Structure 1
Amino acid sequence: MRASRLLSILILLQMRGRLSAEALAEEFEVSVRTIYRDVDQLSAAGVPIYAERGRAGGFQLHDGYRTKLTGFTAQEADALLLSGVGSAAQDLGLGPDLAAAQWKLLASLPPERGQSAERVSARFHLDPINWYTRADASDALKPLAAAVWSEQRVRVRYESWKGVVERTLDPLGLVLKAGIWYLVADAKGATRTYRVSNIQSLETLNTAAKRTRRFNLARYWDEWSKDFEARLFKETATIEISPAGRRLLRDTNAAAHEALTKESTPCKPEGWLRAKTPIESIEAAKRQFLLLGAEVRVLEPKALRTAIANEAKAVAALYRR
Structure 2
Amino acid sequence: MRASRLVSLLLLLQARGRMTAQELAEALEVSVRTVYRDVEALGASGVPVYADRGPAGGYRLLGGYRTRLTGMTSDEAAALFLAGVPGPAAELGLGAVLTAAELKLRAALPPDLAEQGDRIRQRFHLDAPGWFRDPEPTPHLTALAEAIWEERLVDLRYQRWKRPREVSRVLAPLGVVLKAGRWYLVARAGEQVRTYRVAAILALTVRDERFDRPADFDLVAFWREWTDRYERGVYRDEARVRVTAAALEFMAYVFPPAMSRAARAAAGAPDAHGWLHTTVPIESVRHGHTELLKLGAQVEVLAPAELRELMAASAHAMAAIYPAPADAPHASTGESTVTR
Same fold (TM over 0.5): yes
Q: In structure 2, list runs of 5 or more residues that go unmatched.
A: 1-69, 71-79, 324-340
Verify: 1:89 aligned to 2:89, yes or no.
yes
- Which amino acid letter does the alignment assign opposite residue 139 of structure 1? P
Verify: 1:156 aligned to 2:159, yes or no.
no
Query: What does 1:93-112 align with in structure 2 at a 5 Å threshold?
Result: 93-112=93-112
For residue 313 of structure 1, report the CA deviation from its aligned partner: 1.2
- Which residue number in structure 2 is paired with residue 191 of structure 1? 193
For residue 185 of structure 1, report the CA deviation from its aligned partner: 0.6
- Partner Cα distance (1:92, 1:82) in 2: 19
- Which amino acid letter does the alignment assign opposite residue 176 of structure 2? L
Verify: 1:316 aligned to 2:319, yes or no.
yes
Kept in 2: contact 1:183–1:195 (CA 8 A): yes
- Partner Cα distance (1:83, 1:272) in 2: 48
Alpha-carbon spacing, 1:312–1:95, altered in 2? closer, same or farther (3 Å): same
Q: Which has the larger radius of gyration?
A: 2
- Which residue number in structure 2 is paired with residue 294 of structure 1? 297
For residue 169 of structure 1, report the CA deviation from its aligned partner: 0.6
For residue 229 of structure 1, report the CA deviation from its aligned partner: 2.2
Paired-residue identity, %: 38
- Which amino acid letter does the alignment assign opposite residue 187 of structure 1? A
- Partner Cα distance (1:116, 1:123) in 2: 11
- Which residue number in structure 1 is paired with residue 238 of structure 2? 236
- Which amino acid letter does the alignment assign opposite residue 280 of structure 1? E
Match among 155, 168, 171 for residue 170 of structure 2: 168
- Partner Cα distance (1:248, 1:150) in 2: 46
Match among 201, 218, 223 for residue 225 of structure 2: 223
Alpha-carbon spacing, 1:85–1:233, altered in 2? closer, same or farther (3 Å): farther
- Which amino acid letter does the alignment assign opposite residue 197 of structure 1? A
Query: What does 1:29-44 align with in structure 2 at a 5 Å threshold?
Result: none
- Which residue number in structure 1 is paired with residue 204 of structure 2? 202
Q: In structure 1, list runs of 5 or more residues that go unmatched.
A: 1-69, 71-79
- Which residue number in structure 2 is paired with residue 260 of structure 1? 263
- Which amino acid letter does the alignment assign opposite residue 140 of structure 1? H
Kept in 1: contact 2:86–2:95 (CA 8 A): no
Alpha-carbon spacing, 1:183–1:253, altered in 2? closer, same or farther (3 Å): same
- Which residue number in structure 1 is paired with residue 310 of structure 2? 307
Map Cα deviations across residues 259-289 of structure 1 (whole Å, 9 max, x no partner).
Answer: 2344433313566654322110111111111
- Which residue number in structure 2 is paired with residue 118 of structure 1? 118
- Partner Cα distance (2:124, 2:81) in 1: 17
For residue 216 of structure 1, report the CA deviation from its aligned partner: 0.8
For residue 178 of structure 1, report the CA deviation from its aligned partner: 1.4
- Which amino acid letter does the alignment assign opposite residue 114 of structure 2? G
- Partner Cα distance (1:292, 1:216) in 2: 42
- Partner Cα distance (1:258, 1:130) in 2: 20
- Which residue number in structure 2 is paired with residue 250 of structure 1? 253
- Which residue number in structure 1 is paired with residue 50 of structure 2? none
Aligned residue for 1:267, secondary structure, equals coil
Kept in 1: contact 2:81–2:117 (CA 8 A): no
- Partner Cα distance (2:274, 2:220) in 1: 41
Alpha-carbon spacing, 1:298–1:241, altered in 2? closer, same or farther (3 Å): farther
Kept in 2: contact 1:183–1:194 (CA 8 A): yes
- Partner Cα distance (1:270, 1:169) in 2: 57
For residue 310 of structure 1, report the CA deviation from its aligned partner: 0.9
Kept in 1: contact 2:82–2:120 (CA 8 A): no
Kept in 1: contact 2:82–2:121 (CA 8 A): no
- Partner Cα distance (2:226, 2:81) in 1: 23
- Partner Cα distance (1:84, 1:258) in 2: 34
**TM-score normalised by structure 2 residue count:** 0.65
- Partner Cα distance (1:107, 1:300) in 2: 65
- Which residue number in structure 1 is paired with residue 134 of structure 2? 134
Map Cα deviations across residues 209-232 of structure 1 (whole Å, 9 max, x no partner).
Answer: 231110111111111122222222
